[in-house]
A and B are shown apart, each in its own frame.
Chain A
Amino acid sequence: MTNKKRKKIALLFGGNSAEHEISIVTALQAYQAVDPLEFETIPVYITQQGKWYTGDALFKKASYKAFDPDTLNLKRVTLLPEPEIQGLLIYGKNNKIDLNQKIEIDACLLCFHGQQGEDGAMQGLLELADLPYTGSPIAASALAMNKSHCKALLSHFGIPTLPWTVVRKKEAVVNFENVIETILNNKEMSFPLFVKPTQLGSSIGISKVLNENELRRSLAQVFVYDNEAIIEPCLTSVLEINVSVLEGHPPLASVVETPISSDGALSYEDKYLRGGKNSDVQGMASLQRIIDPKDLDESIKKSVQNYAIKGFSILGCLGLVRFDFMLDLNENRLYFNELNPIPGSLSFYLWEKSHPQKIYTDLLSDLIFMAIMRKKENLSLKKNLDNLQKVITA
């Protein structure tokens, strides 16, 4: 294939998010796997200050140690919410944007994690810019990222979840003691409990609390990162089971995995800091896990996959997501835990062991082509009612 026929894919990552570094890991892994015959990958890194850069140095891990756009010869770029541009605009001298200086883009491969990239904000910008992008659309992304809303919707449709309660930072600021008392008086909330930020992933800010003092500290910890905390009872004997779901007719579930945690629940350290230093593999791909465990009951695996596929459809997800479940080993009951609309390492390790197997390169190609196809389908939708004149002259 000649260069002309390759599609130009903007690999978007980084962002103003607590999971910024994890996004870099996911993006670098994805870059290694994208089919170079089909696609020309253009890295687009968004700093935590919200500045967008592109350049070949972004493909090197070392570039992020002491990030300096000048030393790395990066170009500053931006994306305007205007459909006719169809690409990134380059900043020129004196930080001025020239509409004639642009990098054309055919589609965007999203490798964000956390706020603004995974929760519908970036998706909204890309919709306005009318650029195809991988993954779930705005509403599904926003719902998926909010643990409380996601649980409410899925439980309404019969997917089992543990009871939960939500605490808002505003309430704690006004009367912290009242907030603590309300939790302690809630019969469904007895120790041990899990306290988590409502809208963050990667196990950031998650704590298991055994008593009131720990509850106080953990709530404060959550409010460092989020304006809402979700609190759930903690299962005493639990097995975490994750599964990925890929868009399709019908959606397809991967094999399941059971990640191995250090302390009964996966921490940020488990996911991203253990085993990474001496290994080329990082992020979720480096986590210790058992993929398609032979000693897990087939009926449990099937239930997990079925619930995940059902949840995928209920929420209106697209592309590829990862559902996390918990199995109460005492009661042999399954509960939905959380949904990752853009999972770490795009869960490629699950698809490489699935039946049919999907290697990472093919998975990425599928995601990109699905995104382009969706954009084509949307072109046929009518966007105005030709009623403007009637409204103005009425």
Chain B
Amino acid sequence: MWAKAFDTKGTLILALAFLGRFFFEPTFLYFLLSSGFLYSFFKEEDPRVFGKIPLKMTNRAKRLFLVSLSLSFILLLSAYALGDFFKELLFFAFFLQMQPLILLLSWLFLHPDEKRRQNKFLRQASLKLEKVDPFVIGITGSYGKTSTKHALAHLLNTCVGPTFFPKGSVNTPMGITVEVNEKLKPYHQFAVIEMAAYGIGSIRNLSCITKPKAAILTNIGLAHLERFKLTETIQKAKAELAEALPKGGLLVCNGDSPLIREIANNHRDKNIIFYGYSDHLGPLDLLIEFKENTLKGTSFTFTWKGKCYSGTTPLFGKANLSNIAASFAMSSELGGNPDFLMAAIGCMEPVNNRLEIKQDKGVTYIKDAYNSNPLGFKDALEVMEALPGQRKFLMTPGMIELGPLQAHENEEAGKRASRFLDTALIVGKVNREALNRGLSSQMTPSQVLFFDFREEALAFLKKEAREGDVILLENDLTDIYESKSSF
């Protein structure tokens, strides 16, 4: 995709028309202008086709497009009132550069109506939730929300009762509303809702719609630090879920996180369950012991209510195991038979692109491309290090949205990876320097390769990978980070 400073093709056509006025009549020039614009229109990238996530013309997108088109048409017509060819050309040039603003104006114009529509859907979803009255469990945290949601829904559906959950990583009010309106059924006993904090008040709003009776707090870390500025702000935003629970509501908390423990301490009126790897911050109701990672998955034990349960899961990494532990504790408290739950953990499926391991022609791919954060990246590297392999490749653009800590965290990740990697492929320019600094601590320059675009790096891997290699695909940035700059 192209990232442009301002419109060029259209402006160039206008400039030519300006010069052409000295030689041709305006009517002929208008004809040339129209032909020129039509030509450049068809040469533009179609966002409905290009890009990692092509533009989907939803009804809302169509409304926005129509209003922008209408506004543009009105402005173009009004240009003719100027009555002077050169003034008209200047106006057209101004009009072309103002296209992003026209879109914004259209959005503003439609905003009240969109708000009315959204409120209608929100009311529908609220009423439906009230009517079906499932036991709602909210999940929030800096990371692991989607994985925990899927794990919990799997355990509840298999071992306790029918469970509704929005698929993928739907975690916004409108996304959840659509899912509830379309997919929540009268017989759903549970509803597992992932709640993202986009700012203070986000989770409070979501909780007003969904009215959770239980919650899981996975962790508080550096993800989206750029948006929140301080980890304390992230903590405050996440705490809104604990606040939303009724008195005595079940609150399952990551006992390894000091910030989560703080939230729990401020909500002693809830029924609090702690899970974690270590009791150094306080007692745990569920103690996780990680055993090992093999190509088949992870083996572990849970010590829960005085009994030790051994199990395996096809999922990888300590972070995933922590999410599974949270889901186990919640499911058990909601009536799940622990032995049955352990069996169900044994047949869990990974969520797409979240430490998902696939084999293809003898090459092991660790697909962790959904997003990345310091803890997840560390986890993925640990899994990669533990797996047997001839050569180990890392392909990554690094982590983003970490604010002032971004360079440091990427450098640290690079250092960790350099201990055992054979080749690193750095994609894009966003974190190139920081990753390179880290990787160079134990790798030679020939082992670190740079690619501007993901497709180029993938093509390299496709050519180079041999049977026995292990390849970690860590994070994938949106198009805006890979767009080609163009004057």
Contacts and interface: CB of A to CB of B under 8 A. Distances in A.
Contact of A220 (B158, B160, B182, B312): B158
A224 B159 contact: no
B272 to A, nearest CB: 26
Interface string A291-303: 0000000000000
B59 to A, nearest CB: 9
A369 interface: no
B65 to A, nearest CB: 14
A174 B158 contact: no
A47 B265 CA distance: 47
Contacts of A217: 312, 343, 346-347
B154, B157, B339: most-surrounded residue (chain A CB, <10 A): B339
Contacts of B56: 68
A101 to B, nearest CB: 23
Nearest to A179: B340
Interface residues of B, number: 17
Interface in B133-176: 154, 157-160
Contact of B337 (A173, A219, A221): A173
Contacts of A49: 182-183
B182 A175 contact: no
Contacts of A91: none
A250 to B, nearest CB: 44
Q: Is the interface of B mostly helix, strand, loop or mixed?
A: helix
B157 A220 contact: no
A213 B154 CA distance: 19
B312, B342, B346, B347 — which one has the most chain A CB atoms within 10 A of its CB? B347
B443 interface: no
Contacts of A176: 337, 339-340, 343
Interface of A: 49, 68, 172-177, 180, 213, 216-221, 223-224
A68 B54 CA distance: 14
Top 10 A-B residue pairs of the complex, sorted by shortest distance between their CB atoms: A217-B346, A176-B340, A220-B343, A221-B347, A216-B343, A220-B344, A176-B339, A176-B337, A220-B347, A223-B158
B4 to A, nearest CB: 28
Contact of B340 (A68, A173, A213, A221): A173
Contacts of A175: 337
Given A172-B337, A219-B343, A224-B347, 4 more contacts: A49-B182, A216-B346, A221-B347, A224-B154
Contacts of A220: 158-159, 340, 343-344, 346-347
A224 B340 contact: no
Interface in B339-369: 339-340, 342-344, 346-347
Given A216-B346, A217-B346, A217-B347, A224 B158 contact: yes
Contacts of A213: 312, 346
A216 B346 CA distance: 8
A62 B164 CA distance: 30
B161 to A, nearest CB: 8
A174 B346 contact: no
A176 B344 CA distance: 11
Interface centre among B56, B340, B346 (most CB of A within 10 A): B340
Contacts of B339: 176-177, 180, 216
A177 B307 CA distance: 15
Contacts of B344: 220, 223-224
Contacts of A219: 343
A77 B312 CA distance: 46
A177 B342 CA distance: 12
A176 B182 CA distance: 34
15 contacts: A172-B340, A173-B159, A173-B337, A176-B340, A177-B339, A216-B339, A216-B343, A216-B346, A217-B312, A217-B343, A217-B346, A217-B347, A220-B159, A220-B343, A224-B347
Contacts of B346: 213, 216-217, 220-221
Contacts of A68: 56
B147 to A, nearest CB: 17
A180 B344 CA distance: 14
A216 B342 contact: yes
Nearest to B342: A216
Interface centre among B160, B342, B346 (most CB of A within 10 A): B346
A175 B343 CA distance: 13
A223 B347 CA distance: 10
